[in-house]
Amino acid sequence: GQQLNQSPQSMFIQEGEDVSMNCTSSSIFNTWLWYKQDPGEGPVLLIALYKAGELTSNGRLTAQFGITRKDSFLNISASIPSDVGIYFCAGLEDNQGGKLIFGQGTELSVKP
Partner 1 sequence: DTEVTQTPKHLVMGMTNKKSLKCEQHMGHRAMYWYKQKAKKPPELMFVYSYEKLSINESVPSRFSPECPNSSLLNLHLHALQPEDSALYLCASSPSPGTEETQYFGPGTRLLVL
Residue 59 within binding range of partner 1, rule CB under 8 A: no
Binding track over 11-30 against partner 1, x by CB under 8 A:
-------------------x
Answer for which of 40, 59, 82, 112 binds partner 1 (CB under 8 A) is: 40
39 sits in the region (left: phi over 0; alpha: psi -120 to 50; else beta) called: beta
Residue 56 within binding range of partner 1, rule CB under 8 A: no
Q: Which helix (H) or strand (E) holds 61?
A: strand 61-65
The helix/strand/coil state of 52 is coil
Binding track over 68-107 against partner 1, x by CB under 8 A:
------------------x-x-x-xxxxxxxxx-xxxx-x
| Contact window for partner 1 (CB under 8 A) among 17-25, 44-52, 62-70, 75-83 | 44-52
81 close to 112: Cβ distance less than 8 angstroms? yes
CA-to-CA dists, residue 40 to 14, 85, 99, 102, 105, angstroms:
24, 11, 23, 18, 15
> Which residues form the interface with partner 1 (CB under 8 A)?
1, 3, 30-31, 33, 35, 40-45, 48, 50, 86, 88, 90, 92-100, 102-105, 107
